Amino acid sequence: MTDSPRFSDAPQRLEELTAVLAQMGAVVLSAETIDSTIELVTTLAAETIPATTGAGVTLVDAHGKRSMAASDPLVERADALQYQFDSGPCLTAWRDQVTVRVDEIDGETRWPQWTAAVAELDLRAMLSVPLVTSGAAIGAIKVYSGQPAAYNARAERLLELFARQAAILLSNTQALADARRLSAQLIEALNNRDIIAQAQGVLIAQGAANDQAAFAMLATASQRSNTKMTAVARRVIASAISRNPSRSGT
């Protein structure tokens, strides 16, 4: 079986793919979020792979399997069925780190529950490639088509090349997001420490024996009211300021 003539314009396709990969690479230098990055990846995949109805990304992380920013509602529905049955081509691509191609979904036998359920979606073919970085699969990218046998060996190579760059991009974006989240948590922890220290100072001024005793008072009030200690500390500080407004600027 020969490759489809739609790939005969290989030089043009290579030039287009080079431009796409350059666009993806530029995102690393910007302040993109993981959601907006995935949206970019799915949009570019749908535009890059010929005969594609829609594209999507499955990420596997602490929140579990999820399809994010699918470029078409049919893709979301097809992926949701995979998660429902915990079986399907993109999950196989992720778990086994292999490229999975389905030429005719209606006749596919590898995932019978998913195949039967997805039949009504008018999707005929699909192609899924794992997103692998540092030897570990973080998910899979997939494209669906309403045409049977829409994808061939060249389409596989194209999506595999695309997936390698997308995996790096998504991994870097996730690492940046994690770093920002950790930084925010550290800042919050420092702020909370200062608030609690201020409240301890107020309680000592009101008669608490020392820092430990003041902290114990805050902890007890927190447990009794079932609220965070920082909330209790803020109330203590606010109460002291209301009684002595001249201290509000300190």
What percentage of the chain has pLDDT greater than the value 90? 37
What element of type H or E holds 130?
Answer: strand 125-133
The rounded distance, in Å, linking the Cα atoms of 193 and 65 is 36
Whether pLDDT at 32 is above 60: no
pLDDT digits (tens, 9 = 90+) for 99-122: 999 999 999 999 999 999 998 899
Give residue 33's pLDDT band: very low, low, confident or very high (50, 70, 90).
low
Q: Which long-range contacts (CB under 8 A, 24 or more apart) does 102-105 make?
A: 102/126, 102/127, 103/148, 103/149, 103/151, 104/148, 104/149
pLDDT at 131: 93
**pTM to 2 decimal places:** 0.61
Tokens encoding 166: 């997308």
Domains of the chain by start residue, with CATH: 5-178 (3.30.450.40), 181-247 (1.10.10.10)
- Cβ neighbours, 10 Å, residue 227: 13
User: How many whole angstroms separate alpha carbon 240 and alpha carbon 173?
Assistant: 45
Residue 54 pLDDT grade (very low, low, confident, very high; cuts 50, 70, 90) = very high
Q: What is the pLDDT of residue 3?
A: 46
Q: Which two tokens stand for residue 213?
A: 């005793």
Pick the range with the lowest mean pLDDT from 9-13, 116-120, 159-163, 170-174: 9-13
Q: What angle do CA 221, 224, 227 make, to 5 degrees?
A: 75
